Amino acid sequence: MLEKIKPCKVMKYFEEISAIPRKPGEEEKIVEYLKQFAIERNLEYYTDNFKNIIIKKEASEGKEKFKPIALQAHTDMICEKIPESKHDFSKDGLELFIQDDFIKAKGTTLGADDGIGVAIILAVLDCEKINAPKLECIFTSEEETTMLGAINLDLSKIESNRIISFDGAKEGKLLVSSAECNEWKGKIDFNIEKADKNGFELIYDNFKGGHSGGNIGDETRGNPIKLAFDVIKKLKNVELSYVEGGSKVNVIPRNIIIKFTSDDKNAEEIIEKEIALQREYYGNEVKIECNKIQKIQKVIDRDSSNRIINFITSFQNGAIKRDKNNNVLQSGNMAKVKTNDANIEIEFSERSNVPEYEREYLKYLDNLIKKYEMKILWNQNLKGVPKREKNVLVDECKKLYKELFNEDLEEIVSQGVVEGGFFVNKKSECEYICIGPNIYDVHSPSERLSINSTIKTWKFIKELLNKM
């Protein structure tokens, strides 16, 4: 279907990649596909124990003496779908369709993050018209979850000190620095008490969701977990019964359900007033409703309910600090809540481009964790890319972009965490940039890839490699 669209090779490979299940941690099939691609073209390749694969192509004639270039993309994708979808990301390929300028997937995330990056690199390797220095093409695994691929990648086998990543998702933007990210999964223990009370059920659904780095500055997306708990916080004597919302630590949540009781005589009036304001702000596309429940039989003890409510409402969410150009420099994402038999699990994250901001936030968060007696089950730190004072690769890109399109290529500082942080940490002299075509609503079932932007990005990449 997509081969009819120019650039046909990029689209051909994107369609083939989209037919391969590539859930984080289950990249075996896409690695095998890439191995066969290399074998069929007599290209050198090797894999490691972390499902990374590197494919190398020798320099074009006349470019043998030039320094090699590394191209990089990750093979996995975020797996989100609409409630009615029966799609199984472990075994089903994506169902692509075209709507105006966009490629979409039926009922699921598109996986253009970073499937289009993989497709562009394959098209580069398969294009005889590109006269490039030696290419070292790095395909990493589990970027969307643990980043184990990038963390464990042996860069000593990579000659290049210049890495171009295709995980940008914003055409005309050149990512030169990314945030450092901290992610946590914690739990607050509780006791279950018998009850025989009337209560309420708050339901928030169909919010936009999105990427907790790339979309976190967009306040119109909302965070249903925070919004629902902000309503409950206004009530007296609340006892939670059940909480379920969100999906992954790096995804802005799209839904939540909370069942609870309250002895507040004005509870119904307060709830209706608050959710009416929220409906007015977020519009008719989202679902926000409150239902009465007859006779809730079991509740979480009041002390634990208060600790859960206070932790979530005290957590700083969304854009926390911005620069003078309104770029987000620090953010938080209250990502997921889940009720178990004896505790509620809570997943959340923080991103900072400024080390001082990160230190302040971690101190504040540590106090919250202790105050509300949360036990941390898991946490990880993902490295950011510091901005280099001198980056020749950036200068070359900006000069060429101006020549080709008579437009300025904008340098951006991103809240998105890219694998470049781990590359630069291993190769301190490495010049790193991250680019890509326009992808909208990443990490959500509304994800879509611009065809025209992909065409423009492909033209730029071909000319960049030819001129290097």
Bridge partners of residue 260, in order along the sequence? 200, 240
pLDDT of residue 169: 78
pLDDT range class, residue 3, cuts 50, 70, 90: low
pTM: 0.78
pLDDT range class, residue 236, cuts 50, 70, 90: very high
pLDDT of residue 417: 76
- Cβ atoms within 10 Å, residue 343: 19
Q: Which residues of 36-58 are buried (b: 16+ CB within 10 A; e: fewer)?
A: ebbeeeebebeeeebbbbbbbbe
Rounded-to-integer distance, Cα 10 and Cα 392, Å: 27
Task: State both tokens at 338.
Answer: 């889940």
Rounded-to-integer distance, Cα 376 and Cα 361, Å: 17
Mean pLDDT of 156-162: 92
Q: Which has the closest alpha carbon to 112: 214, 41, 26? A: 214
CB 348 within 8 A of CB 334: yes
pLDDT range class, residue 263, cuts 50, 70, 90: very high
pLDDT of residue 32: 98
Task: State both tokens at 16.
Answer: 């083939």
Measured in whole angstroms, the distance separating CA 447 from the mean position of its chain's CA atoms is 12
Q: Residue 213 above 90 pLDDT?
A: no
Q: Which has the closest alpha carbon to 159: 126, 131, 137? A: 137
Contacts of 324 (CB under 8 A, 6+ apart): none
pLDDT of residue 4: 65
Q: Residue 389 above 90 pLDDT?
A: no
- Cβ atoms within 10 Å, residue 375: 10
Query: Of the ranges 125-139, 238-252, 420-434, which one carries the lowest mean pLDDT score?
Result: 420-434
Rounded-to-integer distance, Cα 342 and Cα 375, Å: 13
Domains in the chain, start-ordered, CATH in brackets?
Answer: 2-179+384-467 (3.40.630.10), 182-382 (no CATH)
In one-letter notation, the amino acid at residue 154 is D
Bridge partners of residue 98, in order along the sequence? 103
Q: Residue 7 above 70 pLDDT?
A: no
pLDDT range class, residue 468, cuts 50, 70, 90: confident
pLDDT, tens digit (0-9, with 9 covering 90-100), for 50-70? 999 999 999 999 999 999 999
Rounded-to-integer distance, Cα 335 and Cα 343, Å: 17
pLDDT of residue 6: 65
pLDDT, greater one: 224 or 178? 224
Rounded-to-integer distance, Cα 261 and Cα 50, Å: 48
pLDDT of residue 457: 96
Quick one: three-class SS letters along the chain?
A: CHHHCCCHHHHHHHHHHHCCCCCCCCCHHHHHHHHHHHHHCCCEEEECCCCCEEEEECCCCCCCCCCCEEEEEECCCCCCECCCCCCCCCCCCCCEEEECCEEEECCECCCHHHHHHHHHHHHHHCCCCCCCCCEEEEEECCCCCCCHHHHHCCHHHCCCCEEEECCCCCCCEEEEEECEEEEEEEEEECCEEEEEEEEEEEEEECCCCEECCCCCCCHHHCCHHHHHHHHHHCCCCEEEEEEEEECCCCEECCCEEEEEEECCCCHHHHHHHHHHHHHHHHCCCCEEEEEEEEEEEEEECHHHHHHHHHHHHHCCCEEEEECCCCCEEEEEEEEEEEECCCEEEEEEEEEECCHHHHHHHHHHHHHHHHHCCCEEEEEEEECCCCCCCCCHHHHHHHHHHHHHHCCCCEEEEECCCCCHHHHHHHCCCCEEEECCCCEECCCCCCCEEEHHHHHHHHHHHHHHHHHC
pLDDT of residue 429: 86
Percent of the chain whose pLDDT exceeds 90? 83
Mean pLDDT of 135-156: 94
Radius of gyration of the chain (CA): 24
pLDDT, tens digit (0-9, with 9 covering 90-100), for 321-355? 998 888 889 999 999 999 999 999 999 999 998 99
- Cβ atoms within 10 Å, residue 265: 9
pLDDT range class, residue 463, cuts 50, 70, 90: very high
pLDDT, tens digit (0-9, with 9 covering 90-100), for 276-323? 999 999 998 999 999 999 989 999 999 999 999 999 999 999 999 998
pLDDT range class, residue 199, cuts 50, 70, 90: very high
Contacts of 401 (CB under 8 A, 6+ apart): 172, 407, 408, 409, 460
Residue with tokens 């191995």: 35
Task: State both tokens at 253.
Answer: 């949540």
Rounded-to-integer distance, Cα 351 and Cα 331, Å: 5
Rounded-to-integer distance, Cα 267 and Cα 293, Å: 13
Mean pLDDT of the chain: 94
Q: Residue 243 above 90 pLDDT?
A: yes
In one-letter notation, the amino acid at residue 432 is Y
Rounded-to-integer distance, Cα 244 and Cα 1, Å: 39
Kindly tell me the burial class for residue 435, based on how many C-beta atoms sit within 10 Å of its own C-beta (0-12, 13-18, 19 or more): buried
